[in-house]
Structure formats: structure tokens, C-alpha cells
Amino acid sequence: MSLMLMLGISLTVAAGVLLALSRDLFRLIVGLAVLGSATNLIVFMAARPGSLIPPLVEAGTQQLSTAAANPLPQALVLTAIVIGFALLCFALVLGAWLAGNSAGDADQLRDAEPAATDAVKPPVLEP
Amino acid sequence: MSHGSHTETHGPTYLWLAAVPLTLFLLLAWGLARYDLPWRGEVSWIPSLGVSLAFRIDGLSAQMLALITGIGTWIFVYASGYLAHEPRRGQLFAILILFMLAMIGAVTADNLVVLFLFWELTSITSFLLVGFNHEQASARAAARQALLITMGGGLALLGGLVLLGQMAGSWTLSGIVAAGPALVDDPRLPYALPLVLLGAFTKSAQFPFHFWLPNAMSAPTPVSAYLHSATMVKLGIYLMARLDPAFNDLLFWEVMLIGTGTVTAVWAAVLALRERDLKRILARSTVSALGTLTLLIGLPSPGAGLAVVAFLFAHALYKAPLFMVAGNIDHATGTRNIDHLMGLRRAMPLTAAAAVLAGLSMAGLPLSFGFVAKDAISIAKSEAEVLLLVSYATVFVNAIAVAVAGVAAIRVFWGPPESPRGQVHEVSWRMFVPPLAIVLLGIEFDFFPALADPLLLAAARTISPELGAVDLSAAYDLNVLLSATGMTAVVGLLFFLTWDRLHHALHRLHWLDRFGPAALYESLLNALTRIAAWQTRLLQHGRLSGYMRLTFLALLAMGAYIWLHTDSRVVLQWNWSTHAWAWIVACLLIVTGAGAALLLRDRLGVLMASGLVGYGSAVLFLFAGAPDLAFTQFAVETVLVVVAASVLPRYGRAVSRREPWRWVNGVLAVAAGAGTFLLLAHLQGLPVNTELADGFGRMSLPEAHGHNVVNVIIVDFRALDTLGEIVVVAFSLLAALPLLGGIRKGRTS
């Protein structure tokens, strides 16, 4: 793997974290998507791909050629892409539903917290 | 309790339940008559942990069993009368039965784990019984206090028992006692003993944990008489007595027991003077008696065992009836305040008789079993040459006991009748027969010592094995005894006559309560809720970005920790492959997409830019021998953008306010990027392990009949993982559907 890719993935992770730390609910979810993609790349690159040949057993042979790409990270990442997709779809819908009450402000989500009138927990002060 | 309101509740009285303890009692008596002690039984339970259901009944256990089942029988009779108007009496009886079985288990268990389990079960049933009138806030608070203190002690006890078990190499009480002398030099003993004593002291309400017992008086009276005077609170005494042969020679053991016992006995006696509630007065004097018992166990003399056993027996035989008397008075008059109780003897002659007889025993006057116990105590003390201070303390404690006996037996029953509040009348036979029966039993034991002596001597020998053959009830040293009894009687009479004056004098010192252990308990409990509230406010503030910040911070901290503790090499190289141009394009797409998503304000723009990251990854996969990945990524990215665009209008306008914590966010992002770079650079230096990949490549066609190795891995070799993945996708769809419905309807607020 080249230094260029290492730099590229690191920059993407940094951007993803910054997006995920946003107060805007939509940017937060997009940040998760970017981080997901970057993580997939890290896993994929961990096997140091170099071959262009897909991991297919060629007709007439009984086993995978040693020149073919490593199939293991591909299987891992394929699973990760699908699961990440499902979770992001859910996050987008959930975000849209929550945004109805909070105008998309991630700092105004109170649904899971104790009620502001709870005696033990005084209302949260705005920063 | 339904004081005054005599609404008959129909249904069973549960009187027949008294047959359960009675049967057990008769079984015990039959067994004692036929078979020699000790009896053992063992059933393997968890052999891998050395836990077996080991039970062992020796003299001490048999004595406790006799109290539990014998007094239990009368308690059940009493409760059926006392609770005749209580609609939830079925529940109470169920817990009482459970308690009795737990108690039987606790005093017969030989295995440490089994002992602990039953010990804690008695705490739980006690909690349920103290909080039985759960509509009252005071009852709930008392139940919680009893639970927290006895369970906290139970936790310490568990630690102590585990240590003792490890030290002795045996998980049985008998094994520990047998190994006793060898344990004295073990370095773990200074930790084990205080922990065990903490458990015993909390259970038996020793100072400074004495305050939970009087508060536990919010339980119905049958419970107070049974758990909180005759049986459960004696469990700590029982355990100390059981371990005494092993540790009696230790100075620490002696000092702790004698010291704590004396302080408890004296302080509880003083506090008894401060109470006006008859039941609480009795509870204080129970604590005082428990202190005396602890003190007696600590005495190194051979007669101490006898004194413990005799006093334990005598106390149960007079205190349980006195509690029942207090309950009868409460039932008949609706109050337990001694200021409002006078001259009840005409209205309640049989209760009065029981009170007087129990009072005689409590005061240790001749003709009662209490007299025998006092005698045994004097012998034990004269043998042990205790400190003069302890001697004076016992005289004081006994004198207060005389005064309490006077209050409970004389003050409330004699004198002119209080102006009648309603029609005070004698209670039902189920309530006056039990106390009378128990005190008469005590007197009978005094006249016919052969009935009780063998059992008591067997029990005493468990505690003091060196005890010779003594005739318990005839061992009076009359001179010592009469002078001691005479002195306590005189001082006690003085206390009795000046009870009200002493009460008022002590009441003026009530400001001292603020520094007592009860106040400490309160402030600890309050601090707990305050800390919980503070911590909840700190951590659960409802700001999602705050949660994210904390999560990333934790991830980074963990990564940094691993990085610093790993022998890491960073390898940097320009490794140009043949498809370098495609990788450059992919990389540019990814970085441009991520950067644009960050910089753009418009949400649609952000969405499109993030799509570029996915497309860039797809290009990279395509030129790295992974066409399957590439196509999946293309498809997913496209669908995702479509889904996002369809719900985008629901997000409203972008938040225009400034991001809080911008600098912290920036530092976190830079740290995350740098961490990723280090991780990738470190990966470069590691060898590639292709063992799995080679295996899959070799077996794909012959075993799974598939040419596409990636597909074969997913649907065949790792099919179960894929099933899990499908479930995740299905669940996210199921979870999203109702939300979509809600969005479509539109939020009303």
C-alpha cells in the first residue's frame, strides 16, 4: 500500500470524525457514513492488496491461483458494507423522525434522557 | 395493622400453619432423644467449586433449631390472631415460612457458601417483613436501612468466609474450627477476621450498626418477636460462637468482642431510656442483650460458653413474650406509648400475667430461667477476671434490664386505669396463650432442669470444648449470686422509679444525635443520591455531540494505551503498483468527497460529497482485484444517497448556530487522523498471514463447488455470519418502518 493511500484514508477519518462531532443531526449521520467507508478501507488495506486478478478459481483448475487477490478481506468488507448500509438507512430515518422535535439539532435530543422536571436531574442548561 | 378498625376480613386464619414449625420441633426432639449429636448430611452441589450442600447439626445448632421451631410454633399461633384483620396475611405467612426455612438452613449449614446463601436469605426475608406495611414511608425507610446494613455486612462476611476457607483449605465451618490454631499465624487472618466480624456485628446490631434494629420495629409484632428478638439477630451471635473455639486465644478476637459487646450493651441500655414506644424500648434492650452475648463470647473462660448458651436461651424465652405483650397492648388500646398506658391489668389480666412472668425472667429474679442465665454469666465473669470496667458495665446493663422489665410488666399494667379510650378488652386466646406458654416453659425449665440442661450443655461444649460436667441449674454460688442479683435489683429499681426523669435528662442531649452513626448513615445515603444526580447530569446531558465526543475520546485513549504498550515499527514507503493511476484517482475522489462534505453548508451538497467517498472506495476496490466489492459499493452508495435525499426535507434547515467545542472537535479529529496513519504505518511492517485465505482458496471448488471464492466464503464457509448479517438488515428495516409511518403522518408537536 502506498503512502498516498495511507494519507488519504487518515484524512478521511479525520473529516469523518469532525462531521460526526457536528451538532447538526444530518451531518452527524453523514460523518458516520464517511467513517464507515474509511474503516472498510483500513480493513481492506490491512491485507496489502496488490493483485488485479479477482479471487476466482479459473476453469480447469482445482484451486485459487496464487496470483489472485486475497479473498478474505473482500468477504469481510462485503459484509461490512451491507451491514453499514442497513444501519445508515435506519439512522437516516431515525434522524428524520427525531428532527421533527429538535429541528435537526443533535444537542436538543431529550427523548432518551430523564425528563427535565425530574427532581433528581435539573433541566440542562444551554451552553 | 388495623388498629381500632375491627372490620372482619374473611378467609383463612392460617392457624394450621403452626403445625409446620411444631412438626419440625417434634422431629428435632425425637431425633435428640434417639440419636447422638452431631448429625451430618451432605449432597454434592457444585463439586468444581468445592460447594456441596453440607449440613451439620451439633449442640449449638440443635439449640438454635429448638428456638427457631419451638418459639416459631407459638409465633405462628400468635400471628394468626394478631393478623386476623390483615387482608394480606397470606403473604406475611408465606414470608415467615420462608424465613424459618432460611434460618434453619443458616444454623445447620456446614459449607461456607451454603451458610452465606441462607444468611442472605434471612436478610431478604427480614427486609420484606420489615417493609410489610409498605404504604408507610417510615416502614419503607426502615426496611431499606435493615437491608443495606445487613447486606453490606453480608458482603464483608462473604469476603471473610472466602479468605477463611482459603486459609483453612476447607470450605466447611467444622474444618475451619478444626484448623483454628494453625490459622493464627496466617498473614491473611488480619483481613479475614474483621470481615467476618463485620458481617456478624451488622447482623446482630452491634455498635455502631445498632440503629437499624429499633427502626425495624415497624414490622408487625409477630415479626419483631420472631426475627428481631428471638432468632435472626442471634445469627451473628451464632456465627461468632461457632468460630470462637478457633480464635478465642487471639487478643484481637477477645478485644473486639469484649469491647464491641460492652459498648453495645451499655449504649443500647442508655438509649432504651430515651424511648417512649414500648416496642422500641424492648428493641433497645434486645440490642443491649446482644451486646452482652458478644461480650460473653469474647470471654476466654470455659464457663463463657455456658453463659452464652444459657443467656441466649433465656433471652429468647422472655423477650419474645414481652414483644407479644407489647403487640397485645397495641392491639387493644391502639397505642404503644408508655405515657398513655396505665392500669391495664384489669382489662387484660392474662396478658398482664405473661408480662409479669417474662419480666421476672428478664430481671433475673429467682424462679425464672433468667436467674439461671445470670448465674452462668457471673460464673463466667468470675473465671475470666474481666476488667473492672466491664464488670461495672454489666451491672449497669442488668440494672437497666430490670428497669425495662419493670416498665413492660408493671408500669403499663399497674396504677389507676387511664381514661378509657374505647373499650379496652383482653385480646383473643391466640394472642395471650403464646406469650404465657413461652414464659411458663421458661419457668418449667427452671424447676425441671433435666428437660433443657442436656441440650444447653451440648451447645455450650460446642463453644467451650474444655467445659467439664456441670449441673447447670444447681451451680449457684449463692453468695456471689445473691449479692450480684441484689445489687442489680436495687439499682434497677432506682432506674425504674426515675425512668421519666432520666428520660427527660437524656432528651435534652438530643442534639448529640447529629454526630451518631444513624446520622452518618443518613448523610451517606443522601450523598449517594446527590452523587448519582451530579454524575447523571454530567454524563447524561442529552447533547448527542457530547456523547460522540466522549466516545471518540475513549477510543483514542484506548488506542494510545495500546500503542504505547506495543513494540511498534512504523514503515513508510511509496509502493507504486502497476495501477497507480487508478489508485490516485480513487484517492483523490475519496479525499475530495470527505473534504467537501466537511466544508459545504448545504445539506444536499454534503450528501453528494459523502457519496464521492463511497464511489472512490468502489474505484479502489475495482483496481485491487475486488470487483464484487466495487459493484456492491456502487449500488449501496447510490441507494443510500436516494434514501437520504428522500428523508432530507424532514431535517429542516441546517443548524446555523456555531458549533460548540470547535477546538476540542478539531483536536479530536486530528488525533483520530494521526492515529489512523500510525495504525496503517504499523500494519505495513507486519507480515501478511495468508493461512486462512489459502485454505479458502484451496477448498472452495472441491468442497463448496464454487468458483467465486468470496461468494463461497460468504454463503458457505461463513454462512452463519451471513445469516446474522441478514437479521441485522431485516431488523433495521423493521425498526425503520414504524418511524417512516410516523414521519409520513407528520409530527404534531
DSSP string, B513-563: GGGSHHHHHHHHHHHHHHHHHHHHHHH--S-HHHHHHHHHHHHHHHHHHHH
Is there a cis peptide before residue B38, judged by omega within 30 degrees of 0?
yes
- The secondary structure element, H or E, covering residue B176 is helix B173-183
> DSSP 3-state assignment of B1?
coil
The grid cell for A94 is: 431515525
**8 Å CB contact of A22 and B659:** yes
Query: How many Å lie between the alpha carbon of A117 and the closest alpha carbon of chain B?
Result: 13
Distance CA B79, CA A67 (A): 87
Banded pLDDT at A61 (limits 50, 70, 90): confident
Q: Say how far residue B466 (Cα) sits from the centre of its chain.
A: 36
Buried b (16+ CB within 10 A) or exposed e, B369-378: bbbbbbbbbb
What secondary structure letter does DSSP report for B106?
H
Percent of chain A surpassing pLDDT 90: 42
- Cβ neighbors of A86 (< 8 A, separation 6 or more) are B728, B729, B732, B733
User: Which residue is it, cell 451538532?
Assistant: A23
Q: Specify the pLDDT at position A101.
A: 64
Which of A4, A20, A124 lies closest to B584 in CB terms? A4
Task: State whether B644 and A92 contact (CB < 8 Å).
Answer: yes
Predicted pLDDT of residue B657 = 63
Q: Is B36 exposed, middle or buried (0-12, 13-18, 19+ CB in 10 A)?
A: exposed
Per-run averaged pLDDT (10 residues), chain B, 749 residues:
48 85 92 85 81 88 93 93 87 93 94 94 94 90 93 95 90 88 85 94 92 90 89 93 89 91 92 89 93 90 84 90 91 84 82 88 78 77 73 85 86 74 74 88 75 81 75 55 74 86 83 83 89 82 84 94 83 69 90 92 89 93 90 93 87 71 91 93 84 89 90 92 93 90 65
Q: How far apart, in whole angstroms, are the C-alpha atoms of residue B350 and residue B641?
A: 89
Per-residue pLDDT, averaged over A34-54, amounts to 88
- Cα-to-chain-centroid distance, residue B644: 52
Q: Shortest CB distance from A75 goes to which of B593, B713, B728?
A: B713
* CA gap A94, A25 in Å, rounded: 10
Report yes or no: B583 at the A interface, CB cutoff 8 Å. yes
B736, A94: Cβ pair inside 8 Å? yes
Give the Å distances, CA to CA, from B709 to A59, A75, B541.
13, 9, 49
Q: Which residue has the higher pLDDT, A48 or A89?
A: A89
Residue B272 · residue B281 · CB < 8 Å:
yes
Which residues does chain A have within 8 Å of residue B578's beta carbon, measured at their own beta carbons? 52
- Residue in the structure block whose three cell numbers are 493461512: B691
B607 contact partners, CB below 8 Å, separation of at least 6: A30, B641, B644, B645, B648
The confidence score (pLDDT) of residue B469 equals: 62
Residues found in chain A: 127
Contact, B73 vs B18, CB < 8 A?
yes
Residue B46 has φ and ψ, to the nearest 5°, of -125, 80
Q: How many Cβ pairs closer than 8 A exist between chain A and B? A: 342
Which pLDDT score is estimated for B504?
A: 85
Scan for cell 464517511, then name that residue.
Answer: A34
From chain A, pick out residues whose CB is under 8 angstroms from the CB of B621.
Answer: 44, 77
pLDDT of residue B483: 67
**Residue B39, helix vs strand vs coil:** strand
Residues of A in contact with B735 (CB under 8 A): 90, 94
Torsion of CA B17, B22, B24, B29, to 10 degrees: 180
A43/B contact by beta carbon, under 8 A: no
C-alpha cell at A122: 435539573
- In chain B, which residues have their Cβ closer than 8 Å to the Cβ of A14? 669-670, 672-673, 676
Residue B587 has its nearest CB partner, among A8, A29, A121, at A8
pLDDT at position A122 is 45
Among B residues 517-536, those touching chain A with beta carbons less than 8 Å apart: 529, 532-533, 536
Asked whether B119 and B157 are in contact (CB, 8 A), the reply is yes
| A86–B733 CB contact, under 8 Å | yes
Whole-Å CA distances, B459 to B229, B237, B313, B488: 20, 13, 11, 28
pLDDT tens figures, B699-733: 888 988 989 999 999 999 999 999 999 999 999 99
Instruction: State the helix-helix crossing angle for B662-684 and A25-46, rounded to 10 degrees.
Output: 10
CA-CA distance, B730 to B724, in Å (whole number)?
10
For residue B695, what is its C-alpha cell? 485454505
B68-96 burial, b at 16+ Cβ within 10 Å, e below that, comes to bbbbbbbbbbbbbbbbbebeebeebbebb
H or E element: which one contains B55?
strand B51-57
**What was the pLDDT predicted at B574?**
67
Question: What is the spatial distance between Cα B97 and Cα B113, in angstroms, rounded to a whole number?
Answer: 22
Query: Between B300 and A119, whose confidence is greater?
Result: B300
Please state, in angstroms and rounded to a whole number, the distance separating the CA atoms of residues B374 and B366.
10
Cα B340 to chain center, whole Å? 37
> Shortest CB distance from B598 goes to which of A19, A69, A75?
A19
Q: Does B589 touch chain A (CB under 8 A)?
A: no
